[in-house]
Amino acid sequence: MCDEKTGRESLISKAKNGWQCVQEEVIRRIQTRVWEPGSLLPNEVDIATEFGCARSTVNRALQAVADKGLIERKRKGGTRVVIHPEHKATFNIPIIRQQIEQQDLEYGYSLIKTRHAIPPAAVRDRLPDDVSEEILHIRAVHTADGLPYVLEDRWIDTRVVPSADEADFSAQSPNQWLLENIPYSGGTLRLSSENAKAADAKALSCDVGDALFIAERLTLTAERETITIVRLCYAPGYQMAIEL
CA atoms within 13 A on the CB side of 11: 6
Whole-angstrom Cα distance, residue 222 to residue 41? 34
Q: What is the dihedral of CA 109, 114, 119, 122, to 10 degrees?
A: -30
Nearest one of 169, 166, 189, 167 to 94, comparing CA atoms = 189
Q: Which residues span the domain enclosing 49? A: 4-81
Nearest one of 30, 29, 47 to 84, comparing CA atoms = 30
Q: Which residues, in sequence order, are CB contacts of 74 under 8 Å at separation 6+? A: 80
CATH of the domain at 62: 1.10.10.10
- Is there a domain that residue 240 lies in? no
Domain count within the chain: 2
- Is there a domain that residue 88 lies in? no
CATH of the domain at 107: 3.40.1410.10
- Is there a domain that residue 158 lies in? yes
Q: What is the pLDDT of residues 224-236, one digit of tens each?
A: 899 999 999 999 9
- Pair 107, 183 in one domain: yes
Whether the per-residue pLDDT at 138 is higher than 60: the answer is yes
Whether the per-residue pLDDT at 237 is higher than 80: the answer is yes
For the chain, give the mean pLDDT.
88
- Pair 17, 75 in one domain: yes
Domain end: 81, 104, 132, which one?
Answer: 81
Contact between 117 and 133 under an 8 Å Cβ cutoff? The reply is no
- Pair 151, 197 in one domain: yes
- Is there a domain that residue 243 lies in? no
φ/ψ (deg, to 5) at 123: -80, -45
Answer with the residue of higher pLDDT: 234 or 7. Answer: 234
- What is this structure's pTM? 0.66
- Pair 193, 149 in one domain: yes
Mean pLDDT of 56-85: 88
Domain end: 34, 53, 81, which one?
Answer: 81
